[in-house]
Structure 1
Amino acid sequence: MSAVALQMVCVAGLLGLAVLAIVLGRSKISTAVIYGATLAVSAIAWAGALRSLLGGADATALTLPVGLPWLGAHFRLDALASFFLVVINLGGASASLYGLGYGHHDPAPHRVLPFFPAFLAGMNLVVLADDAFSYLLCWEFMSLASWALVMAHHRERGNAKAGYVYLVMASFGTLALLLAFGLLAGPAGDYGFAAIRAAQHTPYAATLVLILMLLGAGSKAGLVPLHVWLPLAHPAAPSHVSALMSGVMTKVAIYGFIRVMFDLLGQPNWLASVVVLFLGSITAVMGILYAMMEKDLKRLLAYSTIENIGIVFVSLGLAMAFQANGLKAAAALAFTAALFHALNHSFFKSLLFFGAGAVLTATGERDMDKLGGLIHRMPFTSFVVLVGCVAISALPPFNGFVSEWLIFQAVLQSPELPQWALKIMVPAVGAMLALAAALAAACFVKTYGVTFLGRPRGVAAETAGEVDRFSLAAMFILAALCLLAGILPGLAIDALAPVATQILGSRMPAQTGQAWLSIVPIAESRSSYNGLLVMMFITAAASLAVYFIHRFASHALRRGPAWGCGFSDATPAAQYSAVSFAQPIRRVFGTLVFHARDHVTMPPPGDLRPARLRIELHDLVWSGIYAPIADALGFLSTRLNRLQFLTIRRYLSLVFATLVTLLLVLAIWS
């Protein structure tokens, strides 16, 4: 059986499981059967994709007699598709393992189980599709399946709005992709990717395709200002579905952008890289600023996804700039860094969403200001979430540091670019990435500290307990992958070499032969990194510090009450909260980015009412772009509603006027 045939069999298995979930309905065994079988199918698909990626075999294709009569449905597995199938099915397997335990706490599993394997099947099909019709059909199937999962708990407050906004943005993105593939097909109308790849595309068409792909793929990925659905949809979906949407589905959007801009269009233009770099850097900074202001755990993680998507697009923009100028080595470095960060993000973001789901299961709360002290009640969850927080903060020796370090190494190659616009812009983009990285570290110090440290701020946090073994197993596996990808990054970089070779015609230097498992992006004389030695140094330094403190300083320790700023009976409410932690950042950026306002109610002396602080924040993208569009559409629909109540004479007059207008347009056009 060929590699692509194996993947299609797995897709058929996932679709069969969706049907089986409908048949089982509310059966008590449905959760275990569906998630267990989905875990097995996803593991098989992951193993097949990994074998195809590492084996370096030629692309294999498959044509099915469905779809358009003259076209059929084409599916193809090459190195690029193999890598993203590895990401999709690894995420699907971990989410299925997590769901074996988490699914038993779902109040309406019959609303989730049919669409969960269907969602995974849709993402697999998008990556395997080799013609525009199949791609768009599978893209829409993926979007509708994920929308159904967002609406699984539609009776909860805000979920219906989240589903509506997501559906509107998904439809808008699909329309943009439809127009992009129409331009790529050209007058001949050949929608096969092979024909599009072989055709010549004018600079005008390439520019329009870039804009449409940024709208279509960018809306699904979460590029600013197309990000508005993420902070609504991710909290509404079940936590393991949120992990798939954030850690995996956004990578399918990145795949679509790479497939079109790097593969189907051919040689990129350096002006296109300027647009991608600008949007990516703005997305990275805005995303983490939004996350910094949040106190809802899952909304914070959704905004953090926006930041990481911006980082990936910055790296892709660098790859476009280098490739357009013939700098093959630098282009391969930036492209590999983008893929590596996409892989890393799927690890630690899925882990963090699983951790948020564990906290939600144990406490029933997503508001961080009502949590605290969970490190004592959920020790295993707190440990793996700490790993995820360190990894997403890009701190060594975990994987987030390596991929972001590679991106900064690509930024340092910008003096070789001949265009002065890029020479000036790329260092500025690097400075914005550094700002985003610093804010990300602060954001997840807040997240972990307020949620897991200190004292419980409510009864729910006081009575919490550890989650089930399936959820813990999924989180520990992802935590181990975060560590392995951080201390052995050379293995991942070499595994990505076939993708870079296929898309760019070049690759990074082989890393597995380096001494002490170091990685060397360009040359040893420029820079190198060794995650294993860094981990050994951190472990040794920490161990020595603990030993000396306990050996020589324990006799000097005294236990006493915590300092309460002059109040001897400090309550848990007096601890740092998520809002108070973000206050300095809000003061610096709030006026410009959020139009932040602090409303203080201070009763006069003798009045026993408590003082109150209310913080007002505005999403300028929503209020400046989407709200006016919604108001205009509401106004127009109200006016056009009168057309439903015309007389037959007016209807006939309207039809006659429309016909005359169309004939005039046709006469002028011809």
Structure 2
Amino acid sequence: MTLVLCLVGAAALVALGAFALLRARWMSSFVYGGALLVCGAMFVASVQNLFAAAPAEALTLPLGLPWLGAHFRIDALSAFFLAIVNFGAAGASFYALGYGRHESAPGRVLPFFPLFLAAMNLVVLADDAYAFLLSWELMSLASWALVMAHHREGDNARAGYVYILMATLGTFALLLAFGLLGGADGDFGFGAMRGHSPGAGVAGVVLALALMGAGSKAGLSPLHLWLPLAHPAAPSHVSALMSGVMTKVAIYAFLRIVFDLIGPAAWWWGVPVMAVGAATAVVGVLFALLHNDLKRVLAYSTIENIGVVFVALGLALAFETEGNGPAAALAMTAALFHVLNHSLFKSLLFFGSGAVLTATSERDMGRLGGLLNLMPATGLFMLVGAAAISALPPLNGFASEWLIFQAILLSPSLPSWSLKLEIPAVGALLALAAALAGACFVRLFGVSFLGRPRSEAARAAKEVDRFSLGAMGALAALCLAAGVLPGSVMDALGPIVEKLVGARMTTQAGLGWFAIAPIAESRSSYDGMLVFLFIASSALLAAVVIHRVASNATRIAPAWDCGFPDPDPATQYTPESFAQPVRRVFAGFVFRTREKVDMPAPGELRPARFELSVQDLVWDALYRPVARGVLAVADALNKLQFLTIRQYLSLVFAALVLLLLVLAVWT
């Protein structure tokens, strides 16, 4: 029943997108309101299916390839990701009821927004390669259209171009992966793929293709270059969906292929997955520290968190193949928990950036400042999101990252020395990424919301509409709830984890006081409720002591200015100066920076100027030579346009013979 409801909901979203082609003043409220109702209903249905531990449902529709049809299926894994997709979609729709009123080109957004939501749902429900890839491409094209909604602004056209190229590469990799899984018989139903496991060599190639195909959409390094271009270019509620939800659909694709369809894993599979994940986490957070664009910082932060998830997935593969079921269950629980957490706090932060953009028309942190006094509710919600993504207790980001480190501490039990050596190094890189993430969001919140306004636009900021505040407030509350009650989330993930790795963690609900003990109570435990009560009571006690005991009256006085009473906002720390120590340490290793200082001579009245440019070394080392090679090949093949008919026929004949030879060798 849940499957039928979700398919009907996806069809309703497609119809809603078609209806949005009509131009009317009330169309924005109608589309976003309709998407809210449809996605809310699908969210409730998927959560009920998940908690009821319902058996898998399957359905075949007479669509697609004539001999195959379109297969759809819902099980515990797809129900979990359906819940994430539809909760994020419902939140973005509710937020857009207010934010969408400020959209300058609604006709370029409204038709594709519900289509994007429908495509993500269909990817999760698909049970054959054809339906999966068709839905995957629909998701890519709809999101590309949303990225290009404001194609005349800034570098948005280039962002859309890079995005569609990387999306094509990812789809091609997944197409090859499904082709290898289907085998010579060409049976592309997922049920048939589960029935026959490929050989060790073919399985390794499928793993690499899954990393490339799903990783390109998720933002794994070095396939991440499109993400910090495309996510900021889209409207803010779409950016929240792309960062908080679409990247999770990519993780679902990796889980479905590697942990479900490909068959038994080899011991070494966790090695490349962890290595790529750790490198992605560090690269993402370093670039987030360097940029001043509020939405681009959040996009790079998404790359970091995707790397954290893939580290946990690599740990789960390593422990599963070595027969350590409890440790594999812990790592997989941590991965899925962080998937959920990232969808919450990243959506919250993108909603907050959209509120700032609405109030100030600025995304450059260097032109913001002082917004906490002018937008107190937005500032509070952004502070919660920044603390959650920085993995500070008692919020949800800390709970999932703490579980990952608990899994890392179990690595000495592995018999493989390559894993014993790699996992501590991966743990050190994750610790570095976590510390840098804290610095990144201290910089983001401090420069944007504290201090004094740096521009007239920041001085004139006002609080945003109630729909936007309601969406941010709900997400902030959920970030706190998931951090205070992590045991409930972990227990809910148990059936999914057991399906993926063949084991599950012990039930956490019986420990009392909302505590969790992922390994054993005597070894490691955490109680989010006690931490929350301690922090809240300590803060309240400090406030009472300061205001009631230290002084009989509240006194307001200027802040200590070190003897230089200059009210000019230019005397504050800038985003560039805050990140300078990190920039100097890692320059030349991960990125290349160029600093240009124009200092006037003594007596000159013109201001000094500082210019900073950051160049991604991956672009120079990998993508630029490929682009040049493609252009060279295109120039060489340009001669094919001027052949005679005989020459064209000879080419067609040669291509046919080659394809027949390949088919003969394959069979």
Q: TM-score, normalised by structure 2?
A: 0.97
Partner of residue 238, structure 1: 235
Match among 366, 383, 388 for residue 386 of structure 1: 383
Q: Which letter maps to 1:18?
A: G
| Structure 2 Cα separation of the partners of residues 664 and 351 of structure 1 | 53
Q: Deviations over 1:459-499 (max 9, x none)?
A: 00000100000011000010010010000111111111110
Q: Which letter maps to 1:652?
A: R
Q: Displacement of 1:545 after TM fit?
A: 1.1
Match among 466, 487, 490 for residue 490 of structure 1: 487
| Structure 2 Cα separation of the partners of residues 665 and 54 of structure 1 | 50
1:20 aligns with 2:14: no
Partner of residue 175, structure 1: 172
| Structure 2 Cα separation of the partners of residues 436 and 112 of structure 1 | 35
Contact 1:56 1:498 in 2 (8 A): yes
1:369 aligns with 2:366: yes
Match among 594, 609, 614 for residue 612 of structure 1: 609
Q: Displacement of 1:348 after TM fit?
A: 0.1
Partner of residue 110, structure 2: 113
Q: How does 1:454-493 map to 2 (within 5 A)?
A: 454-493=451-490
| Structure 2 Cα separation of the partners of residues 185 and 534 of structure 1 | 51
Match among 384, 393, 412 for residue 409 of structure 2: 412
Please identify, of 175-184 and 594-603, the stretch whose mean Cα deviation from structure 2 is larger.
594-603
1:574 aligns with 2:565: no
Q: Which letter maps to 2:650?
A: F
Contact 1:399 1:482 in 2 (8 A): yes
Q: Which letter maps to 2:377?
A: F
Partner of residue 546, structure 1: 543
Partner of residue 354, structure 1: 351
Q: Displacement of 1:635 after TM fit?
A: 2.6
| Structure 2 Cα separation of the partners of residues 384 and 189 of structure 1 | 51
Q: Displacement of 1:509 after TM fit?
A: 0.7
1:98 aligns with 2:92: no
| Structure 1 Cα separation of the partners of residues 133 and 532 of structure 2 | 45
Q: Displacement of 1:591 after TM fit?
A: 2.8
1:33 aligns with 2:30: yes
| Structure 2 Cα separation of the partners of residues 543 and 185 of structure 1 | 62
| Structure 2 Cα separation of the partners of residues 610 and 522 of structure 1 | 60
Contact 1:564 1:570 in 2 (8 A): no
Secondary structure at the residue paired with 1:513? helix
Q: Which letter maps to 2:20?
A: A
1:644 aligns with 2:641: yes
Partner of residue 313, structure 1: 310
Partner of residue 656, structure 1: 650
Match among 105, 120, 128 for residue 131 of structure 1: 128
* Unmatched tracts of structure 2, length 5 or more: none
| Structure 2 Cα separation of the partners of residues 656 and 216 of structure 1 | 35
Q: Displacement of 1:562 after TM fit?
A: 4.2
Q: Displacement of 1:605 after TM fit?
A: 1.8
* Unmatched tracts of structure 1, length 5 or more: none
Q: Displacement of 1:81 after TM fit?
A: 0.2
| Structure 1 Cα separation of the partners of residues 661 and 294 of structure 2 | 60
Q: Displacement of 1:564 after TM fit?
A: 4.7
Secondary structure at the residue paired with 1:501? helix
Secondary structure at the residue paired with 1:617? strand
Partner of residue 185, structure 2: 188
Secondary structure at the residue paired with 2:221? coil
| Structure 1 Cα separation of the partners of residues 660 and 88 of structure 2 | 52
Please identify, of 612-621 and 50-59, the stretch whose mean Cα deviation from structure 2 is larger.
612-621
Q: Displacement of 1:597 after TM fit?
A: 2.9
Q: Displacement of 1:552 after TM fit?
A: 2.6
Contact 1:518 1:529 in 2 (8 A): yes
1:157 aligns with 2:154: yes
Q: Deviations over 1:325-369 (max 9, x none)?
A: 110000000001000000000000000000000000000000000
Secondary structure at the residue paired with 2:20? helix
Q: Deviations over 1:611-648 (max 9, x none)?
A: 222223211111211122112222332333343345x3
Contact 1:267 1:323 in 2 (8 A): no
| Structure 2 Cα separation of the partners of residues 554 and 238 of structure 1 | 49
Size of the alignment, in residue pairs?
Answer: 664
Please identify, of 567-576 and 255-264, the stretch whose mean Cα deviation from structure 2 is larger.
567-576
1:622 aligns with 2:619: yes
Q: Deviations over 1:558-581 (max 9, x none)?
A: 755445555432410111111111
| Structure 2 Cα separation of the partners of residues 128 and 415 of structure 1 | 39
Partner of residue 205, structure 1: 202
Partner of residue 325, structure 2: 328
Contact 1:488 1:517 in 2 (8 A): yes
Contact 2:92 2:240 in 1 (8 A): yes
Q: Displacement of 1:594 after TM fit?
A: 1.4
Partner of residue 143, structure 2: 146
Match among 549, 572, 587 for residue 584 of structure 2: 587
Contact 1:283 1:310 in 2 (8 A): yes
Contact 1:334 1:407 in 2 (8 A): yes
Contact 2:315 2:408 in 1 (8 A): yes
Partner of residue 72, structure 1: 69
Please identify, of 506-515 and 440-449, the stretch whose mean Cα deviation from structure 2 is larger.
506-515
Partner of residue 222, structure 1: 219
Q: Displacement of 1:662 after TM fit?
A: 6.2
What's the % identity of the aligned pairs? 60
Please identify, of 223-232 and 609-618, the stretch whose mean Cα deviation from structure 2 is larger.
609-618
| Structure 2 Cα separation of the partners of residues 569 and 317 of structure 1 | 53
Please identify, of 654-663 and 209-218, the stretch whose mean Cα deviation from structure 2 is larger.
654-663
Contact 2:381 2:472 in 1 (8 A): yes
Compared with structure 1, are the counterparts of its residues 576 and 273 closer, same or farther at alpha carbon in structure 2 (3 Å cutoff)?
same
Compared with structure 1, are the counterparts of its residues 657 and 420 closer, same or farther at alpha carbon in structure 2 (3 Å cutoff)?
same
Q: Displacement of 1:9 after TM fit?
A: 1.2
Match among 219, 244, 248 for residue 247 of structure 1: 244
Compared with structure 1, are the counterparts of its residues 633 and 540 closer, same or farther at alpha carbon in structure 2 (3 Å cutoff)?
same
Q: Displacement of 1:667 after TM fit?
A: 7.2
Q: Displacement of 1:13 after TM fit?
A: 1.3
Compared with structure 1, are the counterparts of its residues 447 and 661 closer, same or farther at alpha carbon in structure 2 (3 Å cutoff)?
closer
| Structure 2 Cα separation of the partners of residues 388 and 116 of structure 1 | 25
Q: How does 1:265-280 map to 2 (within 5 A)?
A: 265-280=262-277
Q: Displacement of 1:656 after TM fit?
A: 2.9
Compared with structure 1, are the counterparts of its residues 660 and 57 closer, same or farther at alpha carbon in structure 2 (3 Å cutoff)?
closer
| Structure 1 Cα separation of the partners of residues 652 and 210 of structure 2 | 33
Q: Displacement of 1:176 after TM fit?
A: 0.4
